[in-house]
């Protein structure tokens, strides 16, 4: 029996949903109320999985709220979906068509649910992203200072730099505390720092953007790069499959 999948094409303001194989279609606003309506729509149609592309941010709220509403979601690579559409001879792109293609792709590839990040992981992602933004802003303002035309401009730019540096230090402290509070992260932090050239920001970014570190066995990591690029590829073998001797006191594996 074919699993019922709801493909969702995500944009900044709208969620276009297509249920396969029934063909039901409806559009919703990309906000809390619209996402709740989408969850109800999926339940009415007996949807087992909501499939959407990982487009870089617009899908994040829908993904998390649908999981909170008890509706499993799977993320997939937009490039893989586009290639699937081209192979099927679907060259036209509209929101409605795209939603249908995502649903058909999920069925054909046997897309699996993407486990949502924990609250701590979400906070770490946000802190690391903000620190990166501030670092970029600091670079821009230092460049502007080097080409400032008079002392008044330099003084104005210096004031902004002082504020940005203060915010960067605050964020670095929050990130360090968050890592220290998690047994696995603190263990990985100490392990990663044994590599020459790896320091605070590198560790923080790795833990934020590669949450699989410390979760999978060595054999599982051999398949990790392809799986990370395309969620349709089978995930690496989870740490629960490896021997208990490899699992630290925190209950999760560490390499």
pLDDT score, position 138: 96
Task: Print pLDDT tens along the chain (255 aa).
Answer: 568 999 999 999 999 999 999 999 999 999 999 999 999 999 999 999 999 998 878 899 999 999 999 999 999 999 999 999 999 898 888 888 999 999 999 999 999 999 888 899 999 999 999 999 999 999 999 999 999 889 999 999 999 999 999 999 999 999 999 999 999 899 999 999 998 888 889 999 888 888 777 766 666 555 554 444 444 333 444 444 333 333 333 333 332
Residue 252: the pLDDT is: 39
Q: What is the pLDDT at residue 111?
A: 93
- The closest of 242, 236, 210, 206 to 224, measured between CA atoms, is 236
CA angle 254–217–74, rounded 5-degree value: 100
What are φ and ψ of residue 16, in 5° steps? -100, 120
Residue 215 contacts residue 135 (beta carbons within 8 Å):
no
Looking at residue 221, its pLDDT comes to: 55
The model carries a pTM of 0.70
Query: How are the residues of the chain apportioned to helix, strand and coil, as percentages rounded to the nearest 5?
Result: 55, 10, 35
CA distance 24 to 13: 21
pLDDT at 220: 57
Q: What was the pLDDT predicted at 234?
A: 39
Strand partners, 20: 5
Helix (H) or strand (E) holding 18, with range, is strand 14-20
What is the set of domains in the chain, with CATH numbers?
5-109 (3.30.420.10), 119-211 (no CATH)
How many other C-beta atoms are found inside a 10 Å radius of the C-beta of residue 58? 17
Q: Where are the alpha helices (DSSP H) in 193-253?
A: 200-209, 218-221, 224-229
The pLDDT value given to residue 213: 78
């Amino acid at each position: 029996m074919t699993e019922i999948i709801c493909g969702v094409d995500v944009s900044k303001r709208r969620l276009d949903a297509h249920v396969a194989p029934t063909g039901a279609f409806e559009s919703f606003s990309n906000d809390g109320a619209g996402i709740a309506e989408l969850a109800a729509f999926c339940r009415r149609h007996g949807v087992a999985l909501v499939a959407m592309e990982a487009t870089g941010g617009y899908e994040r709220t829908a993904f998390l709220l649908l999981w909170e509403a008890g509706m499993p979601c799977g993320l997939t690579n937009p490039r893989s979906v586009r290639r699937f559409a081209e192979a099927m001879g679907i060259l036209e792109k509209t929101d409605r068509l795209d939603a249908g293609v995502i649903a058909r792709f999920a069925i054909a590839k046997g897309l699996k649910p993407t486990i949502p990040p924990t609250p701590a992981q979400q906070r770490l992602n946000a802190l690391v992203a903000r620190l990166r933004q501030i670092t970029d802003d600091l670079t821009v303002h230092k460049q502007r200072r080097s080409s400032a035309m008079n002392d008044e401009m330099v003084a104005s730019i210096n004031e902004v730099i002082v504020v940005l540096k203060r915010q960067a230090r605050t964020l670095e402290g929050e990130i360090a505390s968050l890592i220290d509070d998690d047994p696995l992260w603190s263990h990985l932090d100490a392990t990663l720092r044994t590599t020459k050239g790896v320091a605070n920001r590198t560790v923080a970014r790795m833990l934020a953007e590669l949450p699989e570190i410390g979760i999978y066995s060595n054999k599982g990591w051999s398949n990790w790069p392809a799986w990370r690029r395309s969620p349709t590829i089978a995930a690496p073998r989870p740490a629960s499959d490896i021997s208990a001797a490899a699992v630290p006191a925190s209950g999760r594996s560490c390499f």
